[in-house]
């Protein structure tokens, strides 16, 4: 039987965070302690039970989970876009990301679409300037 | 129904600027419904950042507009390409797609739209009728009862929420995690900041916008991109039969009303989301029909029943959300959070002090449903083509809206980091079979539950647990949990726990 890796990772993450919540709550003022402490302790019990159930009865990986490599690539691209946003501002980051992303995606499909990518990137740039003006900020 | 408040609310909604915002919500709902994989939660999360600064009625109209139409527009991909537009239109494929393959897509769409419209309006009417009836009951509830109702609602959402693996422990864990996330920042009872690591950014807690966008939108975008290509390479012709579809809805009018009523009931029950209402109604119509041979091969009743129910459920879902402040699903949690942001507190105070808000929501739901249906009828040939656009052309624009929405929460670079972190968490939860809706509901309810708990304890001490309503609700909650956990361990039903395939 395959080990249910993702469910176990999720349960372990929850367990660690609930343990942290319960531990930290000890030092809070009495009126601020009860609720996070109760949630933390209940959460620890639930996460442990979940782990046991996963280990005993888990049925391996979700068949709809995309290959990890693909998911990591797209999370990396999104992370890169958000980093660009923080570094060079929203409109420029959006234009650059759209152009680069579309080139990459179309190349992966066997036909790099330079013109369409450039046109859509220009459109994204224009929309992002408009949205920024709508929100009312300079970022 | 208080007719004066009802008319006042209609007047409020029909103010041109508010109608425009409502239509913006309807438009957004149409698009996210058509693009397979996205759905009402993503649509609401995308619009959430834009409510800041809006007048509360306009903001509510816009958000309700999204929800009102997603269940209608998600029918396009279900019928035309056999891919559900959202979780709420999965069962529609069973008979809608075979009808399209027979060249009767227009008939199926027409029947689906008209049944959806009747269902949506039915839900709005039930909601408007429930408000005055429930008013005395709601006003009789104090903090102890509201605390127990919140716990019951959260338990229901946690244990019943759909996921790949039907294991209530996962849903309850997610709900508890949401409660924990909701405690980050200032404590309600005393001046103390919790889990902030002395970072000023966390002093006001985590924003609902960031959490909902990260948990629901980013994982769907990543998964759709991983799938690659267009959702469908080709789409059959819509064909003819628009009038026939309308005639079908009229012919099966009692079926439409029956399933609208079931939809309202399911919507009212926290935790039973769109996917359940859809399949449940499909199952009911198949079982209760004498001639079942055509189901699965293109029986129009298999389209009408789930479609009328999944639109009617919105009216039902709004009942606990508005009257008791208990959201039964992720979209209702976003709506509740938005209301709190706008300074509207759902629950007894809303009924007491601002009843017109409730009726603004009722009208927005009804108008949004009708407008969305008419748009679907009029522009169907063009709207349907949206489902054929390869997702990688759309993704940068959705991501742009996400990033802007996230950043406008606090105008701080950390917003972008938090968005990504919750995106990763959402993806992990999605593929680990942990439902995400309970997390969001827990997060939204966390400050309310803590406040109710604090008020109950300071006012009554532990004796609040002995109040009659509290005892009844607590007993139901405990029984429900025991039943769910026993079911998980297979007590009474064999040794293997019930961890079967859920609705995805």
Indicate if the pLDDT at residue B501 is higher than 60: no
How confident is the model at residue B229, as a pLDDT?
Answer: 56
Tell me the chain B residues in contact with residue A10 when contact means C-beta distances shorter than 8 Å: 428-429, 432, 434
Cα gap B104→B79, rounded to integer Å: 10
Average pLDDT over residues B102-126: 90
Closest by Cβ to B189, choosing from A4, A6, A31:
A31
Cα gap B458→B276, rounded to integer Å: 40
Q: Give the other-Cβ count within 10 Å of B4's Cβ.
A: 10
CA contacts within 13 A on the Cβ side of B97: 15
In the DSSP assignment, the letter for residue B491 is T
Q: Alpha carbon of B469 to those of A20, A30, A123, B149, B325: distances in Å?
A: 35, 28, 58, 10, 17
DSSP letters, chain A, are: ----HHHHHHHHHHHHHHHHHHHHHTTS-HHHHHHHHHHHHHHHHHHHHHHHHHHHH--SS-TTPPPHHHHHHHHHHHHHHHHHHHHH-HHHHHHHHHHHHHHHHHHHTT---HHHHHHHHHHHHHHHHHHHHHHT---
How many inter-chain contacts (A to B, CB under 8 Å) are there?
Answer: 182
B416 to A65: CB separation less than 8 angstroms, yes or no: no
Tell me the chain B residues in contact with residue A108 when contact means C-beta distances shorter than 8 Å: 228
Closest by Cβ to B396, choosing from A17, A98, A132:
A98
A21 has a chain B CB within 8 A of its CB: yes
Cα gap B152→B217, rounded to integer Å: 28
Residue A24, C-beta contacts closer than 8 angstroms, at least 6 positions apart = A36, B194, B195
Answer for the pair B88, B71: CB distance below 8 angstroms, yes or no.
Answer: yes
B404 to A11: CB separation less than 8 angstroms, yes or no: no
Tell me the chain A residues in contact with residue B496 when contact means C-beta distances shorter than 8 Å: 57
A37 has a chain B CB within 8 A of its CB: no
How confident is the model at residue A131, as a pLDDT?
Answer: 83
Closest by Cβ to A139, choosing from B399, B407, B423:
B407
Cα gap B342→B61, rounded to integer Å: 13
- 3-class secondary structure, B185: strand
Q: Give the other-Cβ count within 10 Å of B6's Cβ.
A: 18
B434 has a chain A CB within 8 A of its CB: yes
Q: Band of the pLDDT at B93, cuts 50, 70, 90?
A: confident
- 3-class secondary structure, B190: coil
Residue B300 in tokens: 């129009």
B173 to A70: CB separation less than 8 angstroms, yes or no: no
Cα gap A14→B180, rounded to integer Å: 10
Q: Band of the pLDDT at B82, cuts 50, 70, 90?
A: confident
B221 to A78: CB separation less than 8 angstroms, yes or no: yes
- 3-class secondary structure, B177: helix
User: Which residue shows structure tokens 């979700």?
Assistant: A62
Closest by Cβ to A50, choosing from B173, B229, B397:
B173
The ipTM estimated for the assembled molecules is: 0.94
How confident is the model at residue A42, as a pLDDT?
Answer: 94
Answer for the pair B298, B99: CB distance below 8 angstroms, yes or no.
Answer: yes
Closest by Cβ to A124, choosing from B397, B408, B423:
B397
A81 has a chain B CB within 8 A of its CB: yes
Average pLDDT over residues B418-430: 95
Q: Band of the pLDDT at B502, cuts 50, 70, 90?
A: very low
Q: Which uninterrupted H or E stretch holds B142?
A: none
Closest by Cβ to B226, choosing from A57, A66, A98:
A66
How confident is the model at residue B231, as a pLDDT?
Answer: 52
A118 has a chain B CB within 8 A of its CB: no
How confident is the model at residue B493, as a pLDDT?
Answer: 43
Q: Which of residues 43-72 of A touch B (CB under 8 A)?
A: 43, 46-47, 49-50, 53, 57-59, 61-62, 64-67, 70-71
Long-range contacts, stretch B155-159, CB < 8 angstroms, 24+ apart: B155/B477, B155/B480, B155/B481, B156/B269, B156/B270, B156/B271, B156/B328, B156/B480, B157/B270, B157/B271, B157/B327, B157/B328, B157/B329, B157/B437, B157/B438, B157/B441, B158/B271, B158/B438, B158/B442, B159/B271, B159/B480, B159/B481, B159/B484
Answer for the pair B231, B387: CB distance below 8 angstroms, yes or no.
Answer: yes
* Closest approach of A54 to chain B, Cα-based (Å): 10
B445-476 pLDDT, tens per residue? 999 899 999 999 889 888 888 998 899 999 98
As a whole-number percent, the residues of chain B with pLDDT over 70 amount to 92
Phi, psi torsion values for B38, nearest 5 degrees: -85, -175
As a whole-number percent, the residues of chain B with pLDDT over 90 amount to 27
Average pLDDT, consecutive stretches of 10 residues, N- to C-terminus, chain A (139 residues): 83 96 92 92 94 80 80 95 94 95 89 91 93 76
How would you class B494 by CB atoms within 10 Å of its CB: exposed for 0-12, middle for 13-18, buried for 19 or more?
A: exposed
B265-317 pLDDT, tens per residue? 888 877 666 667 888 888 888 888 888 788 888 889 999 999 999 888 888 88
How confident is the model at residue B497, as a pLDDT?
Answer: 43
């Amino acid at each position: 039987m395959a080990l249910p890796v993702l469910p176990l990772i999720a349960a372990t993450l929850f367990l660690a965070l609930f343990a942290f919540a319960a531990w930290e709550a000890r030092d809070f003022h009495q009126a601020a302690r009860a609720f996070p402490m109760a949630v933390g302790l209940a959460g620890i019990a639930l996460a442990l039970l979940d782990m046991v159930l996963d280990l005993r009865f888990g049925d391996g990986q979700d068949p709809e989970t995309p290959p990890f490599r693909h998911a990591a690539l797209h999370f990396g691209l999104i992370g890169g876009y958000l980093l660009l946003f923080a570094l060079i501002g929203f409109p420029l980051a959006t234009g650059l990301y759209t152009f680069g992303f579309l080139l990459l995606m179309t190349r992966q499909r066997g036909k790099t679409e330079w013109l369409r990518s450039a046109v859509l990137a220009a459109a994204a740039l224009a929309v992002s300037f408009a949205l920024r003006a709508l929100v009312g900020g300079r970022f | 129904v208080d007719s004066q408040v009802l008319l006042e609310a209609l007047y409020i909604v029909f103010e041109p600027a508010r109608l425009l915002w409502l239509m913006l919500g309807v438009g957004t709902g149409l698009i996210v419904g058509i693009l397979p994989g996205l759905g009402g939660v993503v649509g609401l999360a995308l619009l959430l950042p834009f409510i800041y600064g809006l007048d509360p009625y306009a903001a509510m109209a816009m958000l309700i507009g999204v929800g009102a139409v997603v269940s209608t527009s998600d029918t396009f991909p279900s019928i035309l390409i056999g891919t559900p537009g959202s979780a709420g239109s999965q069962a529609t494929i069973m008979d809608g797609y075979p009808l399209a393959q027979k060249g009767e897509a227009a008939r199926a769409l027409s029947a689906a739209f008209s049944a959806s419209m009747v269902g949506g309006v039915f839900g709005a009417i039930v909601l408007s009728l429930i408000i005055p009836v429930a008013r005395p009951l709601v006003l009789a509830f104090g903090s102890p009862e509201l605390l127990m109702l919140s716990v019951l609602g959260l338990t229901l959402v946690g244990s019943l929420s759909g996921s790949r693996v039907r294991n209530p422990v996962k849903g309850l864990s997610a709900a508890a995690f949401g409660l924990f996330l909701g405690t980050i920042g200032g404590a309600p009872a005393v001046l103390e900041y919790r889990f902030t690591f002395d970072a000023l950014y966390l002093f006001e807690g985590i924003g609902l916008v960031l959490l909902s966008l990260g948990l629901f939108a980013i994982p769907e975008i990543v998964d759709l991109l991983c799938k690659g290509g267009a959702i469908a390479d080709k789409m059959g012709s819509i064909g003819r039969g628009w009038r026939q579809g309308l005639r079908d809805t009229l012919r099966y009018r009692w079926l439409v009303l029956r399933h609208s009523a079931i939809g309202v009931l399911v919507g009212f029950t926290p935790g039973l989301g769109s996917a359940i209402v859809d399949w449940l109604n499909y199952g009911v119509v198949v079982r209760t029909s004498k001639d079942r041979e055509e189901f699965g091969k293109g029986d129009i009743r298999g389209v009408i029943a789930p479609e009328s129910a999944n639109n009617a459920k919105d009216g039902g879902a709004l009942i606990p959300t508005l009257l008791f402040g208990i959201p039964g699903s992720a979209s209702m949690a976003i709506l509740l959070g938005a209301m709190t942001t706008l300074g509207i507190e759902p629950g007894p105070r809303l009924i007491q002090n601002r009843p017109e808000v409730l009726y603004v929501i009722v009208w927005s739901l009804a108008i949004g449903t009708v407008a969305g249906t008419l748009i679907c009828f009029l522009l169907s040939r063009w709207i349907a083509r949206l489902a054929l656009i390869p997702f990688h052309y759309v993704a940068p624009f959705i991501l742009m809206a996400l990033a802007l929405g996230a950043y406008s929460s606090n105008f701080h670079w950390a917003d972008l980091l938090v968005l990504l972190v919750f995106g990763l968490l959402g993806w992990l939860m999605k593929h680990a079979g942990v439902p995400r809706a309970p997390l969001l509901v827990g997060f939204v309810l966390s400050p309310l539950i803590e406040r109710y708990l604090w008020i109950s304890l300071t006012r009554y001490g532990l004796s609040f647990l002995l109040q009659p309503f509290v005892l009844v609700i607590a007993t139901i909650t405990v029984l429900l949990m025991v039943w769910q956990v026993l079911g998980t361990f297979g007590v009474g039903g064999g040794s293997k726990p019930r961890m079967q395939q859920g609705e995805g």
